[in-house]
């Protein structure tokens, strides 16, 4: 939380001076609560206040007020939303776990588990040490969001808490004011918007604007006040004309002129590069009627009264926004040719538009109609499950906090809302994670499109899948939704883990072979002893660390050998004959590890064989860009922490320079028939003429190779060098390509580039 910290106790006189205002505030809160809650619940709210007041006794805010004034103000904001007594009690107690001696169990015993859970949901993680402030904030945010997913009232308390802190931000130092304001605009305003809490969002925006850019905000406020006087006559005239026409058509509705708030004006001027006059030249009105069908009748009335602007009508009643917002929006040519924005909605829609999820929570049977933000809230649990850490989770949530985007249709006619710039891959994951994982192609309006295609309003999207397909890491370069990004990352992490375990097992087998030990005969008891020594939990964890290069297979194998040797050493050797000593030694060498005779000879031969590179190891085996090894090249492997094995050409300069660190280098070789394609760099010197690049690229493609990248280097006026990165199968494939390119008349020289 960004609650201003309690200060040390002030002089006794200060506490007395502030006692009357505190009594007034609690009496005012109880009066407001009794307007919509029964007396017994109002008494419980008062009891929560008394506990909070005692707990915060002696604590003061930066402004000098008793600290209890802050929880009272938070509860007052929530009472204005007509929230239940448990929410108000939690608001009064929301800082006691963090800032006082009270603990969660105390609250549960005194006020029940539900109130204790709400307080715990908005409490900071003060008992955990984090590596950075950013990590601490991300983890606190993660805890709050997950608590919100279980009970939406957590975020309502948190937003009210942030609103009062913003209202009283003036007592804070300037740098802290700016930091809190930036956090509010970046995180809490989008959350309020995503939950449809329009009134709270607007106030947070304007308060954040004044704290972050005080001079700009003051100048803009003065300009708006001046312009408002000039606009009053026009607003009254248009309001009267619309009201009169509605009455003539027998429609009972209220018409309001809407004021633009400061931050909205500032953002339009900044992002759309509009002048203040251009922004203020647009007049906004709202019509509130009784029923949905009356909304459409009122729309017809205003379209008959003023000419509508083509392409500027939006029906958010038929297709509501993700936060539950519903209205008809239209733009008209008003009197004097001025543009008029009109919103038309019912009373219930108006309640949702102003208080958002709070209205949905109050109407538990969803009597207000339309969707609720609960789908987004429940999707946060999936993001949490897939995220590797708090920072990654916060990144995914931030992406999903900006819902303005496009509406697209499934082949069955269902509507999905996606952020602007969303692709078919985002669509696939929005439908279901499995569809996203197995996506291979997409059709938009029955036409095949690339997976990075940007979707537009009203399009119908169909996803083509295949059972053996899986996410491509390149998708992370263009997906925009948090759900798609988190699912792809989660899959790739698991894929890397599986590949690392498989590679780690191969490396450990080879290392044990060199020491005359057999991996398959490594008993579970001995493995558990080794894991305990290394501080690991499972065999898979050990193999994964070896595969990722975090532990060296040779060192682990030597630890196993030392354990084995320790078991072989007798504590009190008795004098025995040579034959007896040999028999005893053979008996101690258990069959789980050492084989004699033919089996041991075979193992010795296998130990001398380098690790075979198949080309299918995945992301735990990579190929050095400095030398671009391909099948057929003599190679050597470097065990790199976190990356697994990096394969170099044996003669690579980087490999020669680092060979002094012998423990990280391992012998490797290509399998007889490696799979996949491998990038290689070639340099082609050509005569400068039109179409030279296209001609060479076409020949490479004819030879069954894909061009990954191309660059141009000017040599002189007559010649240039084309640098291609080409995917080939092996050295023979590369040789065929180079021979074919060399035969072109415009080519003067071609060679493979290494480093």
Ramachandran area for residue 250 (φ above 0: left; ψ -120 to 50: alpha; else beta): left
DSSP per residue over 203-214, as a string? HHHHHHHHHH-H
Catalytic residue list = 98-99
DSSP per residue over 477-508, as a string? GT--SHHHHHHHHHHHHHHHHHHHHHHHHHHH
Which ranges of 515-577 does DSSP label H, i.e. alpha helix? 524-534, 539-547, 553-568
Structure tokens at 313: 């009508």
Those residues whose C-beta lies under 8 Å from the C-beta of residue 488, and which sit 6 or more positions away, are 429, 436, 471, 473, 475, 476, 479
Q: Are 187 and 398 in contact (CB under 8 A)?
A: yes
Question: For residue 546, which of 522, 511, 515 has the smallest C-alpha distance?
Answer: 511
DSSP per residue over 303-348, as a string? HHHSEEPTT--EETTTS--TT----EEEEEE-GGG-EEEEEEEEHH
Q: Please list the residues that pair with 669 across neighbouring strands.
A: 612
Q: Are 253 and 289 in contact (CB under 8 A)?
A: yes
Those residues whose C-beta lies under 8 Å from the C-beta of residue 130, and which sit 6 or more positions away, are 136, 139
Q: Is 281 exposed, middle or buried (0-12, 13-18, 19+ CB in 10 A)?
A: middle
Alpha-carbon span 568 to 588, nearest angstrom: 6
Alpha-carbon span 322 to 380, nearest angstrom: 14
Alpha-carbon span 46 to 39, nearest angstrom: 11
Q: Are 675 and 614 in contact (CB under 8 A)?
A: yes
Cα angle 611, 612, 614; round to 5: 140
Alpha-carbon span 218 to 239, nearest angstrom: 29
């Amino acid at each position: 939380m960004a609650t201003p910290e309690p200060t040390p106790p002030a002089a006794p006189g200060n506490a007395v001076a502030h006692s009357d205002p505190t009594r007034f505030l609690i009496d005012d809160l109880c009066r407001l609560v009794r307007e919509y809650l029964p007396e017994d619940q109002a008494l419980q709210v008062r009891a929560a206040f008394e506990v909070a007041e005692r707990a915060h006794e002696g604590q003061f805010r930066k402004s000098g007020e008793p600290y209890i004034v802050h929880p009272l103000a938070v509860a007052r904001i929530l009472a204005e939303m007509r929230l239940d007594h448990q929410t108000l009690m939690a608001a009064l107690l929301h800082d006691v776990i963090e800032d006082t001696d009270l603990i969660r169990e105390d609250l549960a015993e005194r006020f029940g588990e539900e109130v204790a859970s709400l307080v715990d949901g908005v409490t900071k993680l003060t008992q955990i040490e984090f590596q950075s402030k950013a990590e601490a904030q991300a983890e606190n945010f993660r805890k709050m969001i997950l608590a919100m997913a279980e009970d939406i009232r957590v975020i309502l308390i948190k937003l009210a808490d942030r609103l009062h802190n913003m209202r009283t931000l003036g007592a804070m130092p300037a740098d802290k004011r700016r930091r809190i304001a930036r956090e509010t605009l970046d995180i809490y305003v989008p959350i309020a918007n995503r939950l449809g809490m329009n009134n709270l969002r607007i106030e947070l925006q304007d308060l954040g604007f004044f704290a972050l850019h005080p001079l700009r905000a003051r100048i803009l406020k003065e300009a708006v006040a001046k312009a408002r006087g000039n606009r009053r006559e026009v607003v009254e005239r248009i309001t009267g004309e619309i009201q009169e026409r509605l009455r003539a058509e027998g429609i009972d509705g209220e018409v309001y002129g809407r004021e633009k708030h400061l931050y909205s004006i500032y953002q339009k001027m900044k992002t759309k590069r509009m002048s203040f006059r251009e922004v203020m030249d647009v007049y906004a009105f709202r019509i509130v009627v009784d029923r949905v069908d009356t909304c459409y009748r009122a729309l017809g009335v205003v379209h008959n009264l003023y000419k509508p602007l083509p392409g500027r009508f939006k029906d958010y009643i038929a297709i509501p926004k993700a936060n539950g917002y519903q209205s008809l929006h239209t733009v008209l040519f008003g009197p004097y040719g001025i543009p008029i924005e009109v919103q038309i909605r019912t009373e219930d829609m108006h309640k949702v538009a102003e208080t958002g999820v709070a209205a949905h929570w109050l109407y538990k049977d969803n009597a207000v109609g339309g969707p609720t933000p609960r789908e987004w809230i429940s999707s946060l649990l999936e993001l949490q499950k897939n995220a590797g850490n708090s920072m990654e989770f916060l990144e995914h949530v931030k992406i999903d906090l900006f819902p303005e985007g496009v509406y697209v249709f499934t082949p069955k006619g269902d509507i999905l809302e996606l952020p602007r710039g969303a692709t078919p891959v985002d669509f696939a994951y929005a439908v279901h994670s499995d569809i996203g994982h197995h996506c291979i192609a997409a059709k938009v309006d029955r036409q095949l499109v690339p997976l990075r295609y940007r979707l537009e309003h009203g399009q119908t999207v169909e996803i083509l899948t295949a059972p053996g397909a899986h996410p491509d890491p390149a998708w992370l370069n263009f997906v925009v939704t948090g759900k798609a990004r988190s699912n792809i990352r989660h899959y790739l992490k698991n894929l890397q883990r599986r590949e690392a375990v498989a590679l780690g097992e191969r490396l450990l087998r080879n290392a044990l072979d060199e020491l005359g030990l057999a991996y398959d005969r490594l008993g579970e008891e001995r493995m558990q002893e080794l894991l305990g020594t290394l501080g690991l939990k499972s065999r898979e964890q050990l193999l994964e660390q070896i595969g990722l290069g975090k532990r060296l297979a040779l060192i682990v194998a030597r630890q196993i050998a030392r354990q084995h040797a320790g078991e072989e050493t007798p504590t009190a050797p008795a004098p025995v004959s040579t034959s007896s000593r040999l028999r005893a030694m053979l008996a101690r060498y258990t069959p789980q590890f050492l084989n004699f005779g033919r089996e041991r000879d075979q193992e010795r031969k296998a130990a001398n064989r380098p690790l075979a590179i198949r080309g299918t190891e995945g992301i735990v085996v990579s190929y050095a860009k400095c030398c671009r090894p391909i099948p057929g090249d003599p190679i050597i492997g470097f065990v790199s922490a976190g990356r697994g094995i990096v394969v170099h050409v044996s003669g690579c300069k980087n490999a020669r320079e680092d060979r002094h660190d012998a423990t990280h280098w391992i012998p490797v070789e290509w399998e007889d028939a490696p799979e996949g394609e491998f990038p290689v760099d070639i340099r082609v010197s050509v005569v400068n003429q039109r179409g030279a690049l296209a001609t060479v690229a076409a020949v490479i493609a004819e030879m069954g190779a894909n061009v990954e990248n191309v660059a141009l280097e000017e040599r002189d006026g007559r010649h240039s060098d084309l640098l291609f990165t080409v995917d080939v199968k092996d050295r023979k494939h590369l040789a065929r390509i180079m021979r074919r390119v060399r035969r072109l008349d415009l080519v003067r020289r071609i060679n493979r580039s290494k480093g």
